[in-house]
Structure 1
Amino acid sequence: MAGLPLLPGYSLYDPTALQKPIRQSLGWKKGVPLVQASHVSLLSEEDHDDLIRQERKLQFADKGRRSRTPPKFLPEWAVLEKKVLRFSGYFTEHIDGGPQVYRIRPVVICYYLLDDAIMVIEPKTPNSGLEQGRLLSRQRVPHPDGGFWHWTQLNLGMTLSLYGRKFVVCDCDPFTKEYLVSEGTELNNPLPIPQDPYNLLRRSRAESPSRGSDLRPRSAPLAPPSLRGVVLKFDTLVEGVDCGQPAVSPAVLLYRPEDLTIELRQPSYFDHTEIKKFSPVILRALKVPLSDTRKSGFVDIGEESEVGDWIMPRHLIPPANVNIFGRRVMVVGCDDYTSQFLKDFYGVEHSPPMKNVETRKPDESGSSGKTQSDIVPRPKIRRGLLNAKDAAILRFSAKLDSPDGEENDRNFILTYHLIDDTFEITELPKPGGLGGRILSRSHVPKPPPSENEKGAGKYAVRDIYNLDDFYIGSKLDVWGRHYIITGADRYVLNYVREHENEVSPKLYSSLANFFGQVESIDQEQQKEETACGEVE
């Protein structure tokens, strides 16, 4: 069989052999896949000896000539994922109408090698007044000559045009420099970023030794720390003319020793029927000369260099008369703080206190009140924890008494607060109507008994509505609109029963009659419903 030629039809195997095994070359040992060693050597003895000699030669040969292991393969996106070229530069911004013609604004230009995108960031400067931060988000920027900007086109000292704005590239970080040089780019010499002339001007102003910490004129001396923020308050009477006759009007004089300025204000008006308003200003805060500065019939305030003597606190010790721009002002009193100030600095004992001056407001608003010498109203005294009586709120139902018949179907809820005798009015919504709050929580004065006075001036009395006026069927005059009390909550009756000695008998009897009628109506309705059920 061995000498037969290899021709078709000749069999090269033993047909009598029944098993034809294949030797297993793979196996497992202790859970690790291994390749079993072949029983037959694949190399001849000569080749095996030559391989041993080559291994020894590689082991003891010069390290510089040893073959290097090929690096692990990485795709391009993984190699360039976090590689960013960082350049520093600036751009010039022109200013219209300023002391400087332009401004220098430094920026940082980042180029991402992964997707050839560019991002421009301007470092934030404290108190710059500019919208700094990210000027250009990460994106591919078109090149003026076509295509997009590429890192091969970037170099130091060049002008980078991004969407019409020109940036001057000045320098780069060490990684960018090493990368560009390794890729064959010849870098130009770095350029310094010019200083911003506007920042230099601001720095020179801040570091100037002639500039004080406040905005006073340079001729005005700095006040000692003990007088800074001190305000002296005097009660005064200002002489004037009303309809050709001499008249006197009250005013409050505020004196600031820090800058020797005087301010005149009208006293605050107080009225429980309106919102507290600020005091109108008669004379804004300025320095007043001690002598009369009127020239040719008009008032001349004058410059500080021309006027030497100013009104000082010693000229305002009550009682005193001072001339403020041709108007005689009589100082009649001062507050406690001012009295202590005059005692400490001038040795004045027992200064007259400020007085409350009773006056009437003009009849334009129709209300009247007190004119006090305090500029700022004293805050309302707030109570601590409220007792059950003060925290109680009583609710009444009411209707509008109007000659117009279309408004008689409007229903209202009057919420009365026992703590301060205030109430608010809310209209119940109906189909086609809005409803909502009609009157905010406030005191409402009663109209005077006489009906001769007309207009808003008839509410000039200080008597206000209280709980005794909210009996069933009473008519309340709320700023010219009449409301009729038609009902109340059951809680109102329970409260009146507990405090029967504190309320009027008319209120108690009206509530008892009202709820008695309501109970009788409910009983009749229950009887009718029971009768209807039996018939069915």
Structure 2
Amino acid sequence: MSTRCPDLPFLPGYSFNPNIGRTNFRLTPVLGFIGEVKDGNRGLIEKVRPNMFGPISDKFPSFYPRGQTIELPGYIIFDKQTLCFDAFFQETLQEVRGSPFQVRTVKIYYFLEDGTIQVIEPKVENSGVSQGTLISRQRIRFPAPMDDNFYEMIDFNIGREVELYGRVFKITNCDKFTRTFLNRCGISVSDPIVSPEDPYLQLRSHDRDAFQSKKPNRNRNSLGQFLENDRKVLHFKAYWDDQNTEYGYLHFLELRYYLADDTIEIKELQSETGGEHGFMFLRRGKLPKRYRELPAVGSNANYTVLNVLGSALSARRYLVDPLDCGREKIEYYHEKDLTIGGLINCYGRKLVLTDADAFTREYYATKYGISEFAPISPPASNQKTVYIARPKERELPPWNGFGSYEDSAQNCITVEPKAPLRDFKKFLLYDRIGLDSHILRFKAKMISKVPENCSRKFIISFYLTDDTLAVFEIGQTNSGFTTSTFSKRASVQLAGQKIFASKPPLCYTPLHMFIGATLSINGFTFVLTDADEYALRYMEINCGQFPKANLKKIMQNVREKLRPIYKDFVAENIPKENAVMSYSQLRNKLCKIMGEEFTEHEMITIARAFSASCYNPTYDRAKIRAIALTELKRFLWDDLDRLREYFIHTDDSKTGKLTKKECYTVLKGARLPFDNELVEKILDVIEKDDECKLSYEDILQFLDRNICAPPDEPPSNIKNELWWSSEQQPEAGKLIDWCEFNKYLDLESTFREPVEHHSHSIEAVENS
């Protein structure tokens, strides 16, 4: 009967809850209380229901009697504690003759925290049955008629049988934790039981032929052979005598046998002694011993298809012949068939092996014990010289003026438009790497009939990546010319060549770039007058590519020119006061002797090699030490003992030497009150060995005020004064060391005595 009045609308506040005042909701409680109310520590526990419709029992599923244990929940006391038992059960096999059943081993886990049980069968590869979790984790009841209660810990022991959902498991063993836990609970655990043998596995071991697959795998696994013999090749020399046929001749061949996959490759040589390969005689592949005809389609397949069933592509099936009826067995040449003097049938051509290389001889001696390798001489050739026709170079039509030469040549080679190929190896070799730009920059001036053009200044950049040139003009005040790009980056052709020709014209290369060279760029003539430090140093390092910067070659030419007049040349140019000669002085003398072929770049190379610049730095070792000790005194730093410990700890090999980077790291880590510029200057004046390693003992003595302390330095701007570019060094090559130049010539010892009598050392000049 509804308590709602039909006259009232069905809105909130106009209806009433029928459960108000109701006490019996007809729900059976499934939880019971543990402990009394007066204890104040009551807990809930699940009650036991014998069956789905029976009353709830007052029996609590607890192994320990009340009052003998600590009153804590089981999930806290037995958290992550599990009993593990080994067991087996038998499964009936009706489809296997001679094996009525099979034995399957399992693991039974009993979780003490909640009394749940889990059964897992370990997975065995190629077992034929689905394995893994047989019974998921849950509480399991006893079989009927004892299904009122659940399995407890005392129901599991070695030798006992438990029935879980209709399967009987025989417990044979347990782990160490389970045995110890049950013994402490007063439960005796017997010794392990041996599991019975599986008759199905015994049947498979005795009769393996009965269980062979119907479609055996015919694929040969050659990965092991490849990994063992990769890059191992047997080389033989051979010949094919084809002189009996018309236009035939004696072919000299090289046979290569690849041990990785047993394939053979044969190349024809241009001559008996070897040299370049003429052409490919036989492409790499397996060589059959007997050749009759071309193989049919599908004859080299691993399987023979008998029939194709089904019409649709998705439901199509193939019937494969497991016996390979009608397959012809083909024998291929193997390494054991190759011997010096042996005959090989190469598709009807008889090849005779005459010799082998050292690796092949060692291989056969190690594996087959063959020690005699007498080479065989080939028969005499009827023809004196055999010339192999070389492919003619393709002749292209003359350039028509549209696009570049490379574009036009590419369009003549193929109908499909393709971009010209770029020298990618050269690009990777000369691409920018850090501060190494691979760009040679030269100063240049223009040679023109217009006087205003002769005073203009230009910078010519030569890019080694693709041998291109770019010209930039530097504008001068009131000259009428601004700083801009005079000629964009591009390949520049040499002057005096035919423009409309079939072959591409020659362009400027690195050999044309040197100081004093004359370049013709877009109708303008430029003369290179100078180069930056990077260009000069790069050309000196790579002197093999730049002969104008090759000091050895230049001095050899000077030596040959001075040999007849060496005595007069030395006597005329002996310095009176010191052993230094100016650049212009030596240049004028060498130009008269060497002639017009002697370039300005060669003179600059000589001047840089024998430079004698007198340079006294403003901040020497004593000055820098005075500044450093003043800074230490100003900041009250006195911790040399700890700094010594830092150096010793960093020096793993205990050699007393560290690299500059390691010393810099130690000094900055010790929190010395020095700026970065001062630390760099200190490390520059410290003693170094042949490997440019610094002695940290010298650094400690350098910072020790008790050892010859200099007077304090007045305060100054250290960052500005010790900056690396604040003190400009003189340009190398302005002054030339005459003694070193004369010593490098090393002509006749009789002419060297007066020179040595009047010469002075470089150190004396620098000290002056």
Q: Same fold (TM over 0.5)?
A: no
TM-score by length of 2: 0.25
Structure with the bigger RCO (C-alpha within 8 Å, sep 6+) is 1
Q: Please identify which structure carries the higher strand content.
A: 1
| TM-score normalised by length of structure 1 | 0.33
